[in-house]
């Protein structure tokens, strides 16, 4: 499993947190992972890459001007690489439409020999537009965070319906995993959402590990850090390390 896209049709569920910390954990293993920021809000880029740059140096120019990925990929510390996002990408839906050629563009590019072998993490926005469709078509696994609340569960159910609708195109069941995030065992709702997830989704498609509510996970982006640098002994670091093992093996 080389390309993982993190998606839910709801915001604030932990997509960026999950993409960030899985990429960081992969980098700790020396895997030279590539993070692709497909959210116009570009939070992942801000956390990983710092300062804002021009749209031309972001994934916008890959989609709008067919610029090769290699030209916009930034090398970061500790072996991570980033294809930055940009606010301009919000315009791509009206610029490009949703033809098959457009929505498979990222998949084509990630299959280039230069990209072979490296793990890729794609951070999506909550809308099912041209960018998220590119992520769905490019990925080997769709990872769907569900923060322990009802709207997040509804967003995940929307994703399930979307994937069902796309199944005739893929001609197979697209691999997916639902990940319970922001779990707080003192809150009854967390347990209720967990039960509903079990009722709604196939057992093998729910991650065994869950991500607990953890203050260090909420704090670390303010310092432009991942959880392993910011608080390596936190429950957040432990949860994401366990998730890495579950998804990628040891």
Ligand X SMILES: Nc1ncnc2c1ncn2[C@@H]1O[C@H](COP(=O)(O)OP(=O)(O)O)[C@@H](O)[C@H]1O
Which residues of the chain form contacts with Mg ion (CB under 5 A)? 15-16, 43
Question: Binding partner of residue 243 among Mg ion, ligand X, none, CB under 5 to 8 Å per kind?
Answer: none
- How far is residue 108's CA from residue 170's CA, in Å, rounded to a whole number? 15
Q: Is 16 in the site for ligand X (CB under 6 A)?
A: yes
Q: Is 182 in the site for ligand X (CB under 6 A)?
A: yes
43 versus 86: smaller Cβ distance to Mg ion: 43
Stretch that binds ligand X, among 8-16, 49-57, 110-118, 190-198 (CB under 6 A): 8-16
Question: Binding partner of residue 13 among ligand X, Mg ion, none, CB under 5 to 8 Å per kind?
Answer: ligand X
104 versus 158: smaller Cβ distance to Mg ion: 158
Shortest distance (Å) from residue 30 CB to ligand X: 25
Q: Exactly one of 100, 218, 223, 224 binds ligand X (CB under 6 A); which one?
A: 218
Q: Is 221 in the site for ligand X (CB under 6 A)?
A: yes
Cβ count near 157 (within 10 Å): 18
Shortest distance (Å) from residue 182 CB to ligand X: 5
Print the binding letters for residues 128-167 with ligand X: x by CB under 6 A, - otherwise. ----------------------------------------
Q: What is the CA radius of gyration of the chain?
A: 17
Q: Exactly one of 45, 190, 214, 226 binds ligand X (CB under 6 A); which one?
A: 214
- DSSP letters along the chain, please? --EEEE--SSSSSSHHHHHHHHHHHHHHTT---EEEE--TT-HHHHHHH-S---GGGSHHHHHHH---HHHHPEE-GGG-EEE---GGGGGHHHHH---HHHHTHHHHHHTSGGGTTS-EEEEPPSS-SHHHHHHHHH-SEEEEEEESSHHHHHHHHHHHHHHHHHHHHHTSPPPEEEEEESB-TTSHHHHHHHHHHHHHS-GGGB-SS--B--HHHHHGGGGT--HHHH-TTSHHHHHHHHHHHHHH--
Stretch that binds ligand X, among 12-20, 52-60, 129-137, 200-208 (CB under 6 A): 12-20
Shortest distance (Å) from residue 241 CB to ligand X: 14
Q: Is 175 in the site for ligand X (CB under 6 A)?
A: no
What is the contact surface with ligand X in residues (CB under 6 A)? Answer: 11-17, 43, 181-182, 211, 213-214, 217-218, 221
């Amino acid at each position: 499993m080389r390309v993982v896209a993190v998606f839910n049709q709801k915001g604030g569920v932990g997509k960026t947190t999950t993409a960030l910390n899985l990429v960081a954990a992969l980098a700790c293993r020396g895997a030279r992972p590539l993070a692709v920021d497909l959210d116009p809000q570009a939070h992942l880029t801000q956390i990983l890459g710092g300062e804002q740059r021009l749209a031309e140096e972001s994934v916008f120019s890959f989609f709008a001007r067919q610029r090769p990925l290699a030209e916009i990929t930034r090398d970061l510390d500790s072996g991570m690489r980033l294809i930055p996002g940009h606010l301009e990408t919000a315009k791509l839906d009206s610029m490009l439409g949703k033809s098959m050629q457009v929505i498979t563009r990222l998949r084509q590019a990630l299959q280039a020999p230069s990209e072979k072998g490296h793990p890729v993490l794609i951070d999506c926005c909550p809308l099912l537009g041209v960018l998220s469709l590119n992520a769905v078509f490019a990925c080997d696994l769709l990872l769907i965070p569900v923060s322990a609340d009802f709207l997040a569960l509804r967003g995940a159910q929307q994703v399930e319906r979307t994937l069902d609708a796309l199944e005739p195109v893929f001609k197979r069941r697209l691999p997916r995993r639902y990940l319970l995030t922001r779990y707080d065992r003192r809150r009854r709702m967390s347990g209720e959402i967990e039960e509903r997830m079990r009722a709604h989704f196939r057992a093998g498609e729910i991650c065994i590990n869950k991500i607990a509510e953890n203050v260090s996970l909420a704090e670390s982006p303010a310092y432009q850090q991942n959880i392993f640098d910011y608080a390596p002994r936190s429950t957040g670091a432990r949860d994401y390390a366990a998730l890495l093992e579950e998804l990628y093996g040891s």
